[in-house]
Amino acid sequence: MNPIGAIDPARCMKCGFCMSVCPVYIHDRVETHVARGRNMLIKMVAENRLPRDNAYRASLTYCLLCRRCESVCPAGLLPAEITIHARHDVVKKSRPSLLRRLVHRAMVGNRAVIAQLIGMASVLPGVSVKNGKPMRHLAEAASILSGNLSLPSGALRSFARPIPRHARPAAGVAVKGRIAIFPGCVFEFFMAEIARDMITALARAGFEVYFPQGLSCCGHAVYSDGEFKTARLMAERNIRVLSNFDRVVTGCATCGSALKGYAGWFEKNDPMHGLAADLARRSVDFTQLLHAADFKPPEPAGIGRSVTYHDPCHMRWHQGISESPRRLLQSISGISYREMEGADACCGLGGAFGLTHRQIGLRLLDEKMTAIRRSGAQTVVTACPGCLLHLKAGARRHHLPVQVLHISRLMAGPNP
Amino acid sequence: MNRFKSIIAGLSEIVGPSGVLTESTDLVAYSYDGTSNWHATPDVVVLPTTTEQVAAVMQLAYDQEIPVTVRGAGTNLSGGSIPVEGGIVLCMTRMDRILDIDAANFTATVEVGVVLNKFNQALARQNLFFPPDPQSFLAATIGGCAAENSGGPYAVKYGIFKHYLLGMQIVLPGGRILNLGGKTVKNVTGYDLTLLLCGSEGTLAVITSVTLRLLPRPETRQTILAIFDEVTTAGGAVHRIRQSGLIPAKIEMIDNWIIRRIEEMSPLGLPRAAEAILLFELDGNSAAVENESREVIRLCREADAVDVRPAKDAEEAENFWAARRAGFSAIWGNSPTVLAEDVTVPTDRMAELISTIQTISRRHDVPVVMIGHAGDGNLHPCILTDKKNAEHFHRAEQVASEIFSTALALGGVISGEHGIGLEKKKFLKLAMEPGAIELLKSIKQVFDPKGLLNPGKIWEAGP
């Protein structure tokens, strides 16, 4: 996965090109918070010329892991991966809290229980499991609840209507293939209507859809925190559960990035490495698959007709996907598609970043809202649960009368 | 309260606490530039947002006798922005407003923290163009370009930074704010202090904003790639084209080592045996560009080019230039330490310079890779070495020294666009008469009597 040397910070040629695109640097202009500066710090720590002190640890948190800088790096470095490995190096040398370890471990196999606990806890006023050090993913949902970003009303109700485990195309439609969907924590437990919309659209496109039992959290956020051990357990479980499907479809940008990137989580000589690379070849984003299948989205109902698309970093920079969602939206009859300025600019959430570095996150969000307002769109479509929540929070903050939807809502047709 | 704490408190009062950085990590992040072998940490980093703040910082530094090293994006290649004596790094990146674009008079006034590429993007929306193009343009700030008198491939036709500098606002050591020059192309009013500051490497005053001359954006561009099996034949082609009276916007050269790396990384189908490739860009109105392209192709063929390929479209042109840019990353990717030199000779001596450098490289058994601005005689011999291998590094320094002597013997200079900074200060005596160096020191004394601004640069200490 990673070209040799691409995660060696000493290969940074210090050209500073990362400074031209880094959303964090563009806002605070502090070199400690951009890849060039961080590469130098990580290199010096590795050479024992700097201590792993609090200032160093803090500097490792100032990265959205959006991977935008990779697109301009002449040395072909992967600065986000370098940062993640540096976080791992810190994790290795310090013991995470018992609670954190327990929750992470439980998320490998007992996600539903955790989700329910979070769901229950979230309705108690003043409850925060965040405590400055947010647990990730499922746990992040809890952080979001306590971090002044609320889940859409009805999120918890989705427990009441389970996601179907199996769906077929309508009778008479030729079956294009047997696929698994990987909804991920948020779309499984907090926004299950999105998983249902995905299944509806995929079946309509001619796929026989399975929602396999026993999946784990994708582990993206755990891996990003440098907790490789737990992340690998999660990846391993998912790789095994998904081993029998021709295609694995993700609708969450983050999960998609994880499934396609698992190979990089394992050493080359680990047998899991090859299995992970195989899963990467079978993994496909929801929009990619529908676009490739020449899917004709149904006539929309109940949504604003002028639509714009926000590129999640985990789609645009992690997976290189920008065309398929736009082509799909443009193919909907009765929709007028409007490109916003800086559609590929980060919304400012970046997982826990937007909560731990709220001021930077809010500045990015404010710019995104200005771009949306200028586009004149009534409906903002995206493909990432984090972006979805953050854009909704932004619309409330700016009193912007726009609907924020996952792209599957426009692919599935009117609510049944 | 000790002295350091009271200074930090004073600085925080001027720029606000978010503009003062003192963590060990912050100091490291401002300890280097684009070179691979210079490091020095400051005691504090200050990020001002207004000229008044700069003036107050300079006054405090003057009163307390603290060294101040001004920095933009830190992409320079001379060690010039390294705070060798510690003290304050005054980082100008938060002063990033474009104050005025005057399309009617073809001028613009910008704060120094504006990034060159952002500036050109803003100009393009009004069909305007600012030609000086150091290849760090994605990150480099206008202030850094002014202080280093930067140029790039466009120098052939359009010249370098100083040709576009009309006026500036500066802050002197001590804190006095002055406005120099104006906004007209013609201006003969006393000594040209604006030009004196341009290329002064941050040693005389802090530049806070500049007024620049602009050009209308050329209507169209054409890129042509020409392949040669001898470096000297390529040199001959450049000479022929220059003599014909044509002025291409850019004439760039890459050597065989880089051609092979490009073919390994992202193949363009270049012959691996080719000794040199020339890249031309022609610009202007479409009829002229068409004529000139034909002429360049004909002249290259006459000069024994193995192959000449005009770019079919903008995309192919971009691929050719991307390969040129990839050259530098290939160099850095293949060597722990790179001494990126910057010698410049009269254009008709370029081929001679290259073949002499090849001989020097072989004699010392140190690889030297060459990228150059063939059209203006500016060559970047990149010496590949490893600072950790003392014996090899010593030979590399020997190679550098001989390259400088060669350039000077050919009637050239030791730096075309990077500046002297730290990297070349021990060679200054070779390149400048003692009387002229004395003048430099006297001028420095007038501007900065306490010697606080960017100390330790350009010339060596002592008589």
- Residue in chain A lying closest to B36 (CA): A13
Give the Cβ contact number of residue B184 at 10 Å.
Answer: 12
Yes or no: say if B372 and B403 are a contact pair by the CB < 8 Å rule.
no
Of A287, A232, A282, residue with least CA distance to A262: A232
Share of chain B above pLDDT 90, in %: 83
- Residues B440, A71: Cα–Cα separation, whole Å: 43
**What are A29's two structure tokens?**
């202009």
Q: Are the Cβ atoms of B34 and A58 closer than 8 angstroms? A: no
The topology under which CATH files domain B335-420 is Alpha-Beta Plaits (3.30.70)
- Residues A209, A212: Cα–Cα separation, whole Å: 9
Q: Are the Cβ atoms of B138 and A72 closer than 8 angstroms? A: yes
Please determine whether the domains at B220-328 and B335-420 fall in the same fold group of CATH: yes
Q: Are the Cβ atoms of A31 and B29 closer than 8 angstroms? A: yes
Yes or no: say if A412 and A200 are a contact pair by the CB < 8 Å rule.
yes
Check residue A416 and give its pLDDT.
Answer: 54
Using CB atoms within 10 Å of the CB of residue B120, give its burial: 0 to 12 exposed, 13 to 18 middle, 19+ buried: middle
Distance from CA of B302 to the nearest CA of A (A): 35
Q: Which of B28, B76, B82, B324 to mutate to test the interface with A (most CBs of A within 10 A)?
A: B28
What is the value of ipTM here, to two decimals?
Answer: 0.93
Distances (CA, A) of A164 to A192, A251, A414, B233: 10, 16, 18, 72
Q: Are the Cβ atoms of A76 and B329 closer than 8 angstroms? A: yes
Yes or no: say if B141 and B114 are a contact pair by the CB < 8 Å rule.
yes
Q: Check if A20 contacts B (Cβ < 8 Å).
A: yes
For the ranges B24-38, B191-205, B264-278, the lowest mean pLDDT is seen at B264-278
Of B321, B229, B325, B318, residue with least CA distance to B277: B229
Burial A299-322 (b: 16+ CB within 10 A, else e): ebeebbeebbbbbbbbbbbbbebb
Check residue A116 and give its pLDDT.
Answer: 65
| Per-residue pLDDT tens over the stretch B310-360 | 999 999 998 888 888 777 777 877 888 889 899 999 988 988 999 999 999
For the segment(s) A4-91, the CATH number from 1.10.3720.10, 1.10.10.60, 1.10.1060.10, 3.40.190.10 is 1.10.1060.10
How is B305-362 classified by DSSP, letter by letter? -SEEEE-SSHHHHHHHHHHHHHHHHHHHHT-SEEEE-B-B--GGGHHHHHHHHHHHHH
Yes or no: say if A186 and A215 are a contact pair by the CB < 8 Å rule.
no
Of B208, B214, B211, residue with least CA distance to B125: B214
Q: Are the Cβ atoms of B25 and A76 closer than 8 angstroms? A: no
- Residues B30, B60: Cα–Cα separation, whole Å: 21
- Give B-chain residues touching A14 at CB under 8 angstroms: 32-36, 74-75
Return the domain boundaries, chain B.
1-217+432-463, 220-328, 335-420
| Per-residue pLDDT tens over the stretch B29-71 | 999 999 878 999 999 999 999 999 999 999 999 999 999 999 9
- Give A-chain residues touching B326 at CB under 8 angstroms: 74
- Give A-chain residues touching B47 at CB under 8 angstroms: 29-30
Q: Is the pLDDT of residue B129 over 70?
A: yes
Distances (CA, A) of A413 to A197, A201, A298, B288, B427: 8, 8, 5, 56, 73
Mean pLDDT, all residues of chain B: 94
Of B28, B35, B138, the CB nearest to A41: B28
Q: What angle do the packed helices B256-265 and B314-333 form, to 10 degrees?
A: 110
Q: Are the Cβ atoms of B74 and A11 closer than 8 angstroms? A: no
The helices-and-strands tally (H runs, E runs) of chain A is: 20, 9
Please determine whether the domains at A4-91 and A163-218+228-291 fall in the same fold group of CATH: no
Q: Check if A159 contacts B (Cβ < 8 Å).
A: no
Check residue A96 and give its pLDDT.
Answer: 66
- Beta-sheet pairing, B128-129 with B107-111: unpaired
Beta bridge partners of B307: B227
Q: Are the Cβ atoms of A37 and B29 closer than 8 angstroms? A: yes
- Residues B417, A318: Cα–Cα separation, whole Å: 37
Distance from CA of B23 to the nearest CA of A (A): 7
**What are B21's two structure tokens?**
């950085």
**What are B146's two structure tokens?**
């002014």
- Beta-sheet pairing, A283-285 with A306-309: unpaired
Domain A163-218+228-291: give its CATH architecture.
3-Layer(aba) Sandwich (3.40)
- Residues A347, A380: Cα–Cα separation, whole Å: 12
Check residue A134 and give its pLDDT.
Answer: 31
- Residue B141 is given by DSSP the state B
Query: In this complex, how many residue pairs, one in chain A and one in chain B, have their CB atoms less than 8 Å apart?
Result: 95
Contacts of B280 (CB under 8 A, 6+ apart): B223, B224, B225, B226, B241, B248, B250, B251, B252, B296
- Give A-chain residues touching B336 at CB under 8 angstroms: 10
Yes or no: say if A30 and B47 are a contact pair by the CB < 8 Å rule.
yes
Distance from CA of B330 to the nearest CA of A (A): 7
The alpha carbon of B294 is separated from its chain's Cα centroid by a whole number of angstroms, namely: 32
The topology under which CATH files domain B1-217+432-463 is 3.30.465
- Give B-chain residues touching A59 at CB under 8 angstroms: 25
- Residue A68 is given by DSSP the state G
| Per-residue pLDDT tens over the stretch B210-261 | 999 999 999 999 999 999 998 889 988 998 999 999 999 999 999 999 888 8
Q: What angle do the packed helices B231-243 and B286-302 form, to 10 degrees?
A: 140
- Give B-chain residues touching A56 at CB under 8 angstroms: 24-25
Would you write out chain A's pLDDT as a tens digit for each of its 416 residues?
344 578 999 888 899 999 999 999 999 999 999 999 999 999 999 999 999 999 999 999 999 999 999 999 888 899 999 999 999 999 888 776 677 677 777 776 677 666 666 655 544 433 333 333 333 344 444 444 434 454 444 444 445 578 999 999 988 888 888 999 999 988 998 889 999 999 999 999 999 999 999 999 999 999 998 989 989 999 999 999 999 999 999 999 999 999 999 999 999 999 999 999 999 999 999 999 999 999 999 988 888 899 999 999 999 999 999 999 999 999 999 899 999 999 999 999 998 888 889 999 999 999 999 999 999 999 999 999 999 999 999 999 999 999 999 999 999 987 65
Residue A329: what residue type? L
Of A14, A55, A76, the CB nearest to B23: A55
Of B109, B277, B307, B118, residue with least CA distance to B207: B109
- Residue in chain A lying closest to B24 (CA): A55
B220-328: CATH number: 3.30.70.3450
Return the domain boundaries, chain A.
4-91, 98-157, 163-218+228-291, 296-412
Check residue B36 and give its pLDDT.
Answer: 79
Q: In what order do the strands lie in the sheet with B88-91?
A: B20-21, B44-46, B88-91, B68-71
Q: For A281-337, list the strands marked E by DSSP.
A: 283-285, 306-309, 336-337
The topology under which CATH files domain A296-412 is Rossmann fold (3.40.50)
Q: Are the Cβ atoms of A31 and B34 closer than 8 angstroms? A: no
Distance from CA of A57 to the nearest CA of B (A): 10
